[in-house]
Structure 1
């Protein structure tokens, strides 16, 4: 599967539980929407993913990518109810970085 560079880097950072590398995939003003909450800005995103990594130990295995809609479907496994689950990662990009990410079930 041919993924955009930032999505590939995001998946790699997630699977290595590297919160700093994960956050570096985003613009300074990026937003992440997950579990009913919005996380704004690179620092807040790094804090959110660091906490999530410690709590859930979630890994991502890409299973499909819709290039037109910028939606990654990934088998996500970890310490959370319903694991593993196919989650959808809805991306918007700005200057080759992630501007917006919405994670849905």
Structure 2
């Protein structure tokens, strides 16, 4: 199923698919915050390192299949399949968008 994602979010998932931490970081504003697996990453360097660690620790694919708006967030539900404990899993990516960049992202089960 294909969904029409806002541009910053589409760029995020495209960069994630390529495993490019540098490209993924360019999707975020300079002071963006990412919350994933109980950890918080603030700023582009921390976000780049978070993606680098995730892509070297696990091999995975992510397929967005649903989009919703909740308060000031865009929530994208995606199926994540890979060599990690609990695979496959559906995750909700809660994006805060400012202009053409992601200002915040929280990833939850």
TM over 0.5: yes
* 2:101 corresponds to: 97
Task: Determine the structure 1 residue equivalent to 2:5.
Answer: 3
Deviation at 1:67, TM superposition (A): 3.7
Q: TM-score, normalised by structure 1?
A: 0.95
The CA deviation at 1:56 is: 1.4
> What is the aligned partner in structure 2 of residue 48 from structure 1?
50
Answer with 48-57 or 63-72: which moved more: 63-72
Where structure 1 has 5 or more consecutive residues not aligned to the other structure, the ranges are none
Q: How many residues align?
A: 105
Query: In the alignment, what sits opposite 1:74?
Result: 78
Distance 1:57 1:25 in 2: 21
The runs of 4+ residues in structure 1 deviating greater than 2 Å are none
Q: CA deviation at 1:60?
A: 1.1
Shift of 1:79: 1.9
- C-alpha RMSD over aligned residues: 1.0
2:37 aligned with 1:62: no
* Structure 1 stretch displaced more, 56-65 or 28-37: 56-65
Note the residue ranges of structure 2 that are not aligned, 5 or more in a row. none
Q: TM-score, normalised by structure 2?
A: 0.91
* 2:87 corresponding residue in structure 1: 83
Which residue does the alignment assign to 1:17? 19
